[in-house]
Structure 1
Amino acid sequence: MDSDSTFQGTSYDPVPGGSMASATVDVHGTVVAWSLGAQWLFGYLPSEAVGRPITEVFGLGGPAPIDFASYPAAWVGEVNAHARDGTPLPLQLYAHPLHGPQGIVHWYLTILDRSASQENQPPVEDPDLAHLREWTLAQSPLPVAIFNHKGQLAEMNDSMARLSGIPVQEALGKRLRELTPLPIFTEFDDLVARTLREGKLIRHEVRSQLREDSPERAWTLFFAPLKDPAGHNRGAACTVFDTSEQYWARRRLAVLNDASMRIGTTLDMTRTAEETAEVLVPQFADSAFVLLLESVFKGAEPTFAPLHDPVSLRCLVRRSTLREPLHIEGIPEPGKVARFPLNSPLGRCLSEQRSVRFRVDSAELEEWLERYPAYREIIQAAGVRSFMMLPLLVGGRPFGLILLTRRHGLAPFSKDDLLLAQDIATRAAARIDNARRYSRERSAALTLQRSLLPKRLPHNSAVEVATRYMPAGFRFGVGGDWYDVISLSGARVALVVGDVTGHGLHASATMGQLRTAVRALSDVDLVPEELLTYLDDLVIRLNTEEATYSSAEESPRPDTMPEIGATCLYAIYDPVSRRCSMARAGHPPPAVVHPDGSVEFVAMPAGPPLGVGGVPFESVEFEVSPSSLLVLYTDGLVESRTTGMDQGLEQLRAVLSQSSSSLEGVCDSVVRTLLPAGAIDDAALLVARTRALDSRKVATWDLPADPAVVGEVRAWTTRQLAAWGLEELAFTTELVVSELVTNAIRYASAPIQLRLIQDGTLICEVSDASNTAPHLRRARTFDEGGRGLFLVAQLSRRWGTRHRTNGKTIWAEQALP
């Protein structure tokens, strides 16, 4: 380069004598030539300047700006010199190396006085291309560096020097990886080598520190090859653009978009808090804490009441960019409760319901740390540079906060960061509160559901039973699935499985109503299809009442459902006849596992779901071999979004065909195979192994419609009880049998049958062909009749009437001694 001027502010006036101020020095920095312009500027005659060190005649008061013996290329820079009389001279110095056969032998120094006013300086007339190129490099606000064919730094402008913090004289002639230990410079050096090797423009984006004492910023670097006219790579140029503002703007938009898409994908409160932290770290902060008021975490509602001092906060989630999060006493740990003074930044954030940000050196934070030095130690140990605290509010009531931190090396939180974080905190608060309220409702519904399910199944000789209930996951909530086992008269047992549509408290409450209704109707000993008809009427009535109640309100309640729907399967098994009758209302068909291991699904009419009305239900009856399995279940076990009903039934068939001898093992195998990842929808399973009652424990006698047979019946009953070893019950049983048989002969019609059953209790049954049910009445003092059923009721533990298609059966049950 050969130019007399660079940089804005340089003086272009000729000096007296018509000579530019210049000098020539040898490689030792000794003046060997001195111009008249230099004499005018500094006040030294050539005879006085030649032979003296340049630092002395320039009045630098220190070393020369470059080492003339080793510096490899031209150098441009500013120096603060002094004239002979001590006058300060701010100068622009341009050092040109002069080469001889052995290399550099002299340096030609061009000295430009920068103290003259720019406004008084005439412009350079018709500057040549060399001027323009040099001014472009020197005056460009963009950092620019030029590298030779070896990848060594040949030139860089002041902008690049300021950016890197490396003096020009120290950088020239070196590769980038030799300038600083920062890994990013090694990466840049590799990019220079790649540019020289490939001869192509390379664009590189990076977020890093370019100096150890500078904050992290975003940069876009362009590495361009410098080619000679023949197209050969002779060097490379690097131009740096600071894109931090654009980078953080994009990051803010990305974080905001991420928050809208990712926060609240589930109704699990902890998972929602985790999603919030995942959105913020590492894209926005180094670490994030989601804290909930301990009272709210335990189930209380957020209130406007003043907070207690200290404030108890439970840490739901902690997320950090560190591979191993710091475990420092005082830093909230997930699942633990931390307590903070009400006048602390966290306490004030909640009590004042406003978002705040602090630098660790802020006066406000410093004042508080003076009173609580322990927190200063925590901040220093964690290496935190700035904080941000965002209250979580619902309806203006605080229930938690988000704490964000950035460590040293990152720019502190800005006002724009605070606005973005407030938007994210608002979204997160709504979704966390939704999950919190849902979790509370789900817990209440699950508690209600489990309280309504039988806690202990009744013991009976008809079946051995095992059950499972799997509540739905958080996405759907607790549903209305239920099962029940009900002891009936005549040693029979009823098996029930049902499913109420919908989820939540309403479904659980409806399930409780239907289960109670089924138990009440089963006490009347209704056949399956008739019981489902009554149950269908009940659901229709509930829907009517719900619709009437909702229409009477100005606005519908959020906990009401537009319509109740349910499915149900009701089965009755008789261990005496070994026959099973069942009917279903839109429910999946039950499976029967025969003693030989074969599995079949009972072919029976599906029937409409409960609440449809107008369509009759039909039942089927079939014989069941002893030790067979009756498998009743809800659709959540065999059907899902990925598995159709037919596929689920085949999977169930395959599992049951290889089931173990233990009923608990059967249940475990079915659940493990069909629900490996847990239940998506509610699922109920009831497995019953059938038993047959020993024929020696059943005695039957067909009776004629003759009052004279009553005496024979008493005698026959006494003999049968003696055969069973139940002589103690002979007297009361004779009275019960006598009254029941007398009523049948007097008020009913043949055929009449008496049956005694010994099955944990003593059961007396009298059947006749009449459909008229007897009822208790109060007999007057002088009435001759009306006391028979009263005596039966007093002598029996319980009694009742069971209707059949061809008559009725009156039964009475006594406890065994």
Structure 2
Amino acid sequence: MRAGTVIRLCRDKSRSRIAAGQRRLSWPGGLARRKMEVVMATPESMPDGAPTAVVVIDTEGTVIGWTPAAEELLGYRAAEILNRSGALLLTPERAAAWDARYGDQEHWSGFAEARHRDGTRILVHVEGDRLVTPGEQPGWLVAVTPATAGPTGRACSWVEPLIRRTPVAMAIWDRDLRCVWLNAAAEGLRTVFPHYELGRSLTEPLPGSRTEAAQEAMRTVLTSGVPQLDREARWTSVDLHEDRTLSTSLFRLDGVDGRPLGVCSVAIDISHSRSRDRLALLREASVRIGSTLDVRKTAQELADLAVPALADYVTVDLAESVLPDTAPLQRLAATELRIPAFRRAGVASIHEGIPESLWSLGQVVFVPPSSPFTEVLLSGHSHFEPVMNTSAGTWLDQDPERAEVINDTGMHSLVVVPLKARGDILGVAVFVRHDNPEPFTRDDLILAEELGTRAALSLDNARQYTRERTAALALQRDLLPRNLTGGGAVDVVSHYLPSGVHDGVGGDWYDAIPLRDGRVALVIGDVTGHGINAAATMGRLRTAVRTLAYLGLPPDELLANLDDLVVRLAEEDAGPDGFPDAEGATCVYAAYDPGTRHCSMAVAGHPPPAIVAPTGEVSFLRPPSGAPIGLGLGSFQSVDLELAEGSLIVLYTDGLIETREADIEAGIDRLGAALARAAPHPLAKICTTVIRAMVGDTGSEDDIALLVARTR
């Protein structure tokens, strides 16, 4: 090669064409005895101020050419490196591996770790081309480009512009898990993943970012070389305060000698992908729909969930059988153009005031006989109309009010889904789009049907619960005394409050039984369990207590006989396996004699009765408490006390004092304070005042029975 020779490497179309940009190349005097200026080409995509470092190495691995860019990148001046081994620039044992692997090739490229003069490692991309030196000796022209993107370096492939502009976030991490290169998409995710920053290591702790799992995954890839694909992780954006989900794949970057140099991460933001949004909506439906056993609330939950995630406007209309407490639809007048088919149970819209709805919650919904709603109700199959046909000659001709709303609001896409459970069609859910210009798709139909199925099961459960609760409550009220009287011994009032949660009606009961000798028996009890069975058991126990009370038995003997009776009845009603069904109850039985002002009382596993003196002082009587009724352990003891005229005897069930947050003793203390405040009020107001003070407006988790008697 003569002085001034221009080295122009022209490759095929798959390689970058080295063209513009001149660099001065230093040769050792041992080869040409002088320095030669060689115009070195750099990639066309290379920006100003970011030259490629060019090194010439002979077949022995000796550096025989050096550019200022190489000095800038690696720190060695030409005089310090020329005629010396290239091993200074690399890990020593790797130079031989390069020659063994690429010695017979005209061109090669790959990643490597270069060593700076100060000892630090630099992840670089190297590209080698065979050449002949001025002394007609073979050698290699090696272009070295740092992998990091910065003022003096850049990524080095001809596909680099494409990679930098791809919407997929890409980054390269060295063996210390330090970010050495990233594209624009990764920089855009820095608010989500702040470690997307040049020079920042994953091991560096940052507020609100935990990278332990990412570190472990990268180290595993570095060690094994096995890629990890589609690793989902949720991160919180520090500026928008919203969760973002990234799907990240990791694969190892190997050097030209085959050894691992780092990890490349490829991340896609899948926070708002359609499939993921649908799965998230179904997951939310399993939590939000059917949160209570209330039919109307369940219907409204479906409407609220689907707007705006699936539709702009949603209605849930239910058949009369699902709403048993409403007037029969059959009594409403029908015409040839419309029939009463549903009642509106749920409605939601993206517009305030819901201008699309012709009927409010609870109102009867009329439909034309030829409408899609009637068709779905009769066939049990969904109606799918991605582009609504509002032209003349359709069912809308029979429903001008709906036609007007459709035209005014711009409704253009419709899905009607049957709400079907256990073979019964409970109603229909209607999904409409107007502001959203996209028509419903088949995937939207499947999603709407899935939401409808889940809602229908919850509606059916609520319907069954409502029916059973209504029947149990009716039975409970029929079995409780309607005209409670304390005879001439006491003035008595009572209050029963069914539970607002769980199974609703339980087996709480109370009674006041005037006896022949002028005394009065006061009873309160609580049967285990809820529902119709508990109410029926309560009725049997109340009848048995009345029968035993008329025999004039003292409280302890009465409870012992009641216990024995319940055990015998359970044995007679034993199931097929021969074991009796457990029927347990707690009970307080008190007998008051107004002539002597003596009160005798016995307790079977029940909370202690309260006594309020005329002065307002509250005390809780704690006689020896026997086991609950029905266990067959019938050992009970009575306690006698004398009451002043005007004293209050307060009997109650555990629903009044028990809560999830506090134990029974804390509830008893609260009850004592409530009784002290309520005692001056008239007897009729004491019950409501005490219950309001104990449970407020939220209701109780269990039934509450309260019996208050004032001695005469």
TM bucket (normalised to shorter chain) is: 0.5 to 0.7
Asked whether 1:267 is paired with 2:293, we answer yes
Q: Structure 2 regions of 5+ residues with no counterpart?
A: 1-156, 168-187, 192-196, 199-234, 238-245, 247-266, 329-333
Aligned: 1:597 with 2:626? no
CA distance 1:365–1:588, change in 2 (3 Å): farther
Which stretch of the first structure deviates more once superposed, 282-291 or 359-368? 359-368
Preserved CA contact (<8 Å) 2:386 2:415 = no
Contact kept? 1:360, 1:384, Cα under 8 Å: no
Q: Which residue of 2 aligns with 1:317?
A: 346
SS at match of 1:354: coil
Deviations 1:231-289 (A, max 9, x none): xxxxxxxxxx9999963222211110001122122111112222222221222211221
- Distance in 1 between the 2:387 and 2:406 partners? 8
Contact 2:387 2:439 in 1 (8 A): no
CA distance in 2, matches of 1:361, 1:614: 73
Q: Secondary structure at the match of 1:392?
A: strand
Q: Which residue of 1 aligns with 2:556?
A: 529
Alignment of 1:377-416 (within 5 A): 377-416=404-443
> What secondary structure does 1:507 align onto?
helix
Aligned to 2:694: 674
1:252 maps to which residue? 278
Amino acid at match of 2:452: A
Distance 1:672 1:605 in 2: 30
Pair 1:633 & 2:652 matched: yes
Shift of 1:475: 2.5
Equivalent position amino acid for 1:648 in 2: G
Which residue of the other structure, out of 329, 345, 351, is the alignment partner of 2:378? 351
What TM-score results when the alignment is normalised by the length of structure 1? 0.52
Partner of 1:651: 670
Equivalent residue letter for 2:349? S
Q: Does structure 1 retain, via aligned residues, the 8 Å contact 2:343–2:363? A: yes
Q: Give the letter aligned to residue 647 of structure 2.
A: S
Structure 1 residue 133, shift from structure 2 partner? 10
Distance of 2:286 and 2:538 partners within structure 1? 37
- Indicate conservation of the 8 Å contact 2:288/2:301, yes or no: yes
For the 8 Å contact 1:311–1:347, the answer to whether it is kept is no
Alignment pair present for 1:477 and 2:496? no
8 Å CA contact retained: 1:294, 1:337: no
AA aligned to 1:493 is V
In the TM superposition, 1:152-167 aligns within 5 A as none
Give the distance between the partners of 2:415 and 2:444, measured in 1 at CA: 9
In 2, are the aligned partners of 1:542 and 1:564 still within 8 Å (CA)? no
* Inter-CA distance 136–596: structure 2 relative to 1 (3 Å threshold): closer
1:663 to 683, 686, 700: 683
Work out whether 1:688 is the aligned partner of 2:709.
Answer: yes
Q: 1:496 to 1:283 in 2, by over 3 A?
A: same
Compare the two structures and name the one with the higher helix fraction.
Answer: 1
Tell me the distance in 2 between the aligned counterparts of 1:490 and 1:439: 45
Q: Deviation of residue 642 (structure 1)? A: 1.5
Q: Is the 8 A contact 1:445 1:504 kept in 2?
A: yes
Q: What amino acid sits opposite 1:653 in the alignment?
A: G
Deviation, structure 1 residue 452 = 1.3
Conserved? CA contact 1:476–1:680, under 8 Å: no
**In the aligned structure 2, how far is the partner of 1:573 from the partner of 1:136?**
97
Distance 1:408 1:552, change over 3 A: farther
Q: Matched residues in 1 for 2:287 and 2:306: separation?
A: 13
Paired residue secondary structure (1:502): strand
Matched length: 455
Summarize the alignment of residues 22-101 of structure 1 with structure 2, pairs less than 5 Å apart.
none
8 Å contact from structure 2 (residues 270, 276) kept in 1: no
Q: CA separation of 1:255/1:519 partners in 2, compared to 1, >3 Å: closer, same or farther?
A: same
Aligned to 1:212: none
1:287–1:320 CA contact under 8 A, matched in 2: yes
Give the Cα–Cα distance (whole angstroms) in 1 for the partners of residues 528 and 160 of structure 2: 80
| One-letter amino acid of the counterpart of residue 687, structure 1 | V
SS of residue in 1 equivalent to 2:517:
helix
Q: Output aligned runs, 1:439-518, within 5 Å.
A: 439-458=466-485, 460-518=487-545
Change (3 A) 1:562 1:380: farther
Q: 2:596 aligns with which of 577, 584, 591?
A: 577
Structure 1 residue ranges (4+ consecutive) displaced by more than 6 angstroms after TM superposition: 132-137, 241-245, 363-366
Per-residue deviation, 1:349: 0.9
Q: Which amino acid aligns with 2:311?
A: A
Kept in 1, the 8 Å contact 2:468–2:532? The answer is yes
Amino acid at match of 2:408: A
Kept in 2: contact 1:632–1:687 (CA 8 A):
yes
- What is the SS of the residue equivalent to 2:574? helix
- CA gap 1:338/1:358 in 2 versus in 1, 3 angstroms: same
CA spacing shift, 1:243–1:679, aligned 2, 3 Å: closer
1:430 maps to a residue whose letter is L
Deviation, 1:644, is: 1.1
For the aligned residue pairs, the C-alpha RMSD in angstroms reads: 3.5
Instruction: From the CA coordinates, give the structure whose radius of gyration is larger.
Output: 1
Q: Is the 8 A contact 1:627 1:689 kept in 2?
A: yes
* 5+ residue gaps, structure 1: 1-131, 143-190, 195-199, 206-219, 221-240, 303-307, 554-560, 692-817
Secondary structure in structure 2 of the residue aligned to 1:384: coil
**Residue 295 of structure 1, CA deviation:** 4.0
Q: Which amino acid aligns with 2:711?
A: T
Residue 421 of structure 1, CA deviation: 1.4
Q: Deviations over 1:553-601 (max 9, x none)?
A: 9xxxxxxx95221111010000011101111111111011112221111
Compared with structure 1, are the counterparts of its residues 592 and 371 closer, same or farther at alpha carbon in structure 2 (3 Å cutoff)? Answer: closer
Shift of residue 414 of structure 1?
Answer: 0.7
- The CA distance in 1 between the partners of 2:448 and 2:159, in whole Å, is 46
| Deviation digits for residues 509-547 of structure 1 (CA, Å, limit 9, x no counterpart) | 111111111111112122111211221123223332443
By how many angstroms is 1:603 displaced?
Answer: 2.5
1:358–1:365 Cα contact (<8 Å) kept: no
Quote the offset at 1:472 in angstroms. 0.4
**How far apart are 1:299 and its partner, in Å?**
6.6
User: Which stretch has the larger CA shift, 355-364 or 389-398?
Assistant: 355-364
